[in-house]
């Protein structure tokens, strides 16, 4: 018969346990700025939330008029700013173990004293590890929402964005439009020139789409050779203008393949979201508009009219 060892309960050291309990209480209730800062930062992995906490704690000790944080995470710019600036500034680069985790700038109307800048450095030295963890978390999170080939947001990111737009539209009556564009006869490019060339065309198309849209818009790789563009606060007439501009930019692509150059065109479907319309219904109407553009001979734009049912 196999012997199974038993685990016996061992009484803890009462003095050490009491010390632990007191230390935990002191840590939670300590008015010390560094202890309070690290305690607050440890409660979240949201970089935006952490910057808000950092701004509060620093401003409590060293008043400033504006704090700005900048960092590029997974090829996307992250910017956090609070307050209004002044003529005097001090800048800090956040580095830990040879890695860069963004830059901070503080500005105000009064010149910063040496002791104040030293104080900011002490606070940042206590904050750098939680900030590093938040940056790493955001890097992983953004990688999961980014298309590996083109570097633009993927379908999962698009689904999240459409859900947010739908919610905001229902609450505030905001007009949002969606464009679906599909590269024309893309399969023929893959069949004739191979997938390496096809992948290069997709990368070029993604780059042209980003050039064609406005700063308020966002482009997503919907799947295969199909892309989606979300246009906040945009009606169908303005969305059609953007779609036609997208077609012009995509049509400028030329890929040299020896004796011939590959030329690329795209078809676009446009639909403005109706009030109380679900995300799936909105997407289905946009897809229907794209189908009509394909049926009309490709390299054109078709709009699914935003007519609310009676």
How large is the average pLDDT for residues 157-164? 95
Instruction: Evaluate whether residue 248 is within a structural domain.
Output: yes
CB 220 within 8 A of CB 233: no
pLDDT confidence of residue 25: 75
pLDDT confidence of residue 28: 72
pLDDT confidence of residue 7: 47
Domain count, the chain: 2
**Catalytic site residue from 116, 208, 218, 225:** 225
Instruction: Evaluate whether residue 238 is within a structural domain.
Output: yes
Q: Tell me the CATH number at 245.
A: 3.30.70.270
Do 134 and 160 belong together in one domain?
A: no
pLDDT confidence of residue 5: 54
* 99-103 long-range contacts, CB within 8 A, separation 24+: 99/132, 101/71, 101/128, 101/131, 101/132, 101/135, 102/69, 102/70, 102/71, 102/78, 102/131, 102/135, 103/69, 103/70, 103/71
Among 77, 112, 144, residue at a domain's last position:
144
Do 199 and 99 belong together in one domain?
A: no
Do 130 and 211 belong together in one domain?
A: no
In the residue annotation, 288 being an active-site residue is answered as no
- Looking at per-residue pLDDT, the higher value among 228 and 31 belongs to 228
Task: Give the chain's mean pLDDT.
Answer: 91
Do 108 and 195 belong together in one domain?
A: no
Among 144, 165, 186, residue at a domain's last position:
144
24-48 confidence digits (pLDDT tens): 777 677 678 899 999 999 999 999 9
89 pLDDT higher than 90:
yes
What residues make up the domain containing 84? 32-144
269-308 confidence digits (pLDDT tens): 999 999 889 999 999 999 999 999 999 999 999 999 877 5
pLDDT confidence of residue 14: 82
What would the two tokens of residue 41 be? 């930062």
pLDDT confidence of residue 11: 56
How large is the average pLDDT for residues 131-139? 95
Do 161 and 299 belong together in one domain?
A: yes
pLDDT confidence of residue 2: 57
Which H helix or E strand runs over 167? helix 155-172
Instruction: Evaluate whether residue 16 is within a structural domain.
Output: no
What percentage of the chain has pLDDT greater than the value 90? 78
Instruction: Evaluate whether residue 18 is within a structural domain.
Output: no
- Decide: pTM greater than 0.85: no
Residue matched to tokens 């203008």 = 241
76 pLDDT higher than 90:
no
Among 116, 144, 172, residue at a domain's last position:
144
Which H helix or E strand runs over 130? helix 114-144
- Looking at per-residue pLDDT, the higher value among 3 and 256 belongs to 256
Instruction: Evaluate whether residue 208 is within a structural domain.
Output: yes
Do 116 and 182 belong together in one domain?
A: no
pLDDT confidence of residue 194: 93
pLDDT confidence of residue 69: 98
80 pLDDT higher than 70:
yes
């Amino acid at each position: 018969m196999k012997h199974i060892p038993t685990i016996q309960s061992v009484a803890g050291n009462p003095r050490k346990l009491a010390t632990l309990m007191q230390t935990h209480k002191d840590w939670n209730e300590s008015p010390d700025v560094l202890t309070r800062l690290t305690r607050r930062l440890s409660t979240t992995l949201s970089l935006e939330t952490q910057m808000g906490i950092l701004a509060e704690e620093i401003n409590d000790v060293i008043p400033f008029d504006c704090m700005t944080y900048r960092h590029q995470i997974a090829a996307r710019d992250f910017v956090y700013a609070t307050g209004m600036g002044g003529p005097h500034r001090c800048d800090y680069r956040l580095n830990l173990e040879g890695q860069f985790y963004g830059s901070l700038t503080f500005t105000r109307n009064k010149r910063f004293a040496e002791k104040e800048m030293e104080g900011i450095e002490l606070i940042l030295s206590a904050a750098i590890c939680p900030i590093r963890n938040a940056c790493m978390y955001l890097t992983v999170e953004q990688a999961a929402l980014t298309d590996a080939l083109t570097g633009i947001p993927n379908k999962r990111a698009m689904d999240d964005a459409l859900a947010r737009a739908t919610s905001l539209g229902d609450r505030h009556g905001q007009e949002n439009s969606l464009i679906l564009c599909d590269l024309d006869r893309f399969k023929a490019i893959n069949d004739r020139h191979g997938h390496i060339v096809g992948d290069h065309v997709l990368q070029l198309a993604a780059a042209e789409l980003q050039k064609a849209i406005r700063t308020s818009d966002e482009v997503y790789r919907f799947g295969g050779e199909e892309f989606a563009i979300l246009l906040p606060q945009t009606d169908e007439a303005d969305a059609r203008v953007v779609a036609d501009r997208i077609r012009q930019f995509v049509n400028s692509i030329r890929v040299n393949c020896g004796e011939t150059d590959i030329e690329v065109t795209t078809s676009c479907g446009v639909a403005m979201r109706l009030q109380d319309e679900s995300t799936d219904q909105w997407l289905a109407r946009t897809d229907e508009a794209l189908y009509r553009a394909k049926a009309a001979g490709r390299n054109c734009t078709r709009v699914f009219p935003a007519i609310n049912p009676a």
